[in-house]
Each structure stands twice: as C-alpha cells, then as structure tokens.
Structure 1
C-alpha cells in the first residue's frame, strides 16, 4: 500500500464487519453510544484501517476483536464468481473490491476464498484485455458494455493500461509500415 495512493486511502475507509470479543470500556461512541461501553460479542462495522489495527491487538492473550468476512466475500458472491466470473458486477459490491479483499484476506486464514478470487481475477483480466484491444476502446453497448461498467478500480486501471498499450502498438505498427 502506497502512502499517497488515493485508492488505498479510500479502500481503508470501507467498513468491514467485526465482532468485539472483549468488553471495551468508554468506547461506545464507535457504536453511537457516547460515554458507554462496548459489550463483548458486539457486532460492529468498522473502517478497514481501524479493524486491521484492532484485529491484531490482544489483551491478556485474547484477541480484541474478530474480523468477519464482508458481504462482498460471502459464499453467494464467491459462487457467482466461480460460476461465471465476468457476469458479476464487482463495482456494485465494492468500488475497490479486489484491493479491499486482498487487505481483508491478509488478516483472515481463508485460502479457499483467496484462491477463488485469484481465479476470478484471471478470467476477468482476460476478458478485460479482449475489450481493451477493441478499436473503440471497449465502449460497445450490450453485454460488453455491461461488463465494463461492473469493473472495480483495479480492473479499470488494468483496462486503461491494456487499452493505452494496444493503442501505442497500433501507432507504432503504423509508423513501422509507413517507414518501409
């Protein structure tokens, strides 16, 4: 994560579900209870940056809170990605879907989820590359346009890079052909 990365900052602000394992005195303001306490086993969505910090903290060798899988990484979404990765509107799930998932999965031991997301990204990346090579920049209507509207920010960056490089190669090929 880059200190100056806007996407990293915005990803850090996304709320993720957490459950406090221990009672926390005088922190009720996190749960709209000014001056109150947070009881043990209280579910509470927190910004990712705060959840990451608290998830690794321990008090008396017991974890302070447990980070839960966000709704965007629940089996319903993962099964849809597994069935047909390019049919899922990831932007509708989270604008920074893959970046947020990577940060959450660093803290959780969910190898199966990580493997499924890697496979989905590979399939989607191939589709993104196909659209980026399109002469119109992949802005066609229909199924392709719907797919492109559902790209998360990492994928949009990939699309821009692939489109720009494809355009540069076409220009270079034109210059090479013109020089002969």
Structure 2
C-alpha cells in the first residue's frame, strides 16, 4: 500500500480505543476539552495512524519507558467476532463490521505480531475465497448450461446472454458472500 492509496488512508482512519498511560498537557482536545490536559487512564478513540504513533513513543515514569497510550482491542477484532469467524467464516458479513477489515487486520497483526490472529485471518480469507470461487463457477455453469433461467433472453439456441444487462442478475447475487 502506498501513501496515495485510498484504501490505506481509510484503514488508517479507523478509530481504535486507547487508554492513556500518562497525563499529557494540551491534548484535552482529543476529549473535546481544548486547552486542558488529558489525564492518565483516560479512554479515548483515536485514528489508527495516531494511536499507532502514540503506542510506539512513550515517556518515562518511575524509571520505566512506558508508551503514551495502550491500544485496546477494537470491536471488529473482539473475541465475539473471532468466535463467529471460527464457527463459520463464510456466514459472517465482514463488510458490515468494517469495510477494510483485511487491511486493518494486516496492520493489527503487524503491530502485535499476533500469529494466532494471523492464522484466523488466513483461514477466513481462504474459506471466503473458496466460497466466492464456487459461486463464480456456478454462475458460469448457469449462464452456459441448457437449464437457463427463463427471465434471460437469448439470441440463439446454444448461445449465452448477449449483453451485460442479461448477465448482471447472476453476478450481483454474490453480495451475500
């Protein structure tokens, strides 16, 4: 992904729940209190790009380097969602959870080096790809078989649909995947 990739920009703008580990003056605007400080243990949602930076950089407290924020697990990666993915990867509507789920998962895995979550996401992608492939194959079989739906108009006895408008009803049935 690149700097001008719109998918990357949208993924980086995803809001991540964070907890501040330090009291920081002047950051109250993140809570809607301009000019005030943000207190230790305050929970806020920040865009991924900002929360990632604040989680990598930190301050010293009691002789220890502690990052400014602790990243909390977003709801799209909650245990409830993970359990739903494990139960049936193809029945979960990933797009309704977050439009750029896979991109976000890649960034999250990179941040935490979570191999277990990486395996779950790989299995999710594999199972959904198999489902999409099976659906695409069945669409092509329906289009080119002798058992064609009656709502399509054909220009010959063994020819398939002649225009994109005639093929479109089959293709958009894929939205449930």
Instruction: Sort the TM-score into its range (normalised by shorter chain).
Output: 0.7 to 0.9
Shift in Å at residue 54 of structure 1?
1.0
Would you say 1:85 and 2:89 are equivalent positions?
yes
Question: Aligned partners of 1:68 and 1:114: how far apart in 2?
Answer: 18
Q: Secondary structure at the match of 1:41?
A: coil
Q: Higher relative contact order by CA 8 Å / sep ≥ 6: 1 or 2?
A: 1
Segments of 5+ residues of structure 1 without an aligned counterpart are 148-180
State the number of aligned residues.
Answer: 145
- Of Structure 1 and Structure 2, the greater helix share is in 1
Which aligned pairs between 1:31-180 and structure 2 lie closer than 5 A? Answer: 31-60=31-60, 61-133=65-137, 134-135=139-140, 136=167, 139=171, 141=173, 144-147=174-177
TM (norm. structure 2) is 0.76
1: CA distance, partners of 2:136 / 2:5: 24
TM-score (norm 1): 0.74
Q: Aligned residue for 1:23? A: 23
State the 1:140 CA deviation. Answer: 5.6
User: 3-state DSSP class of the match of 1:139?
Assistant: helix
For residue 85 of structure 1, give the secondary structure of its aligned residue in structure 2.
Answer: coil
**What secondary structure, in the 3-state scheme, does the structure 2 residue paired with 1:25 have?**
coil
Which deviations, in whole Å up to 9, do the C-alpha atoms of 1:42-97 show, x marking residues without a partner?
Answer: 11110111111111102121111111111000011111111110100011100000
- Name structure 2 gaps, 5 residues minimum: 141-166
- 2-structure distance, mates of 1:103, 1:115: 14
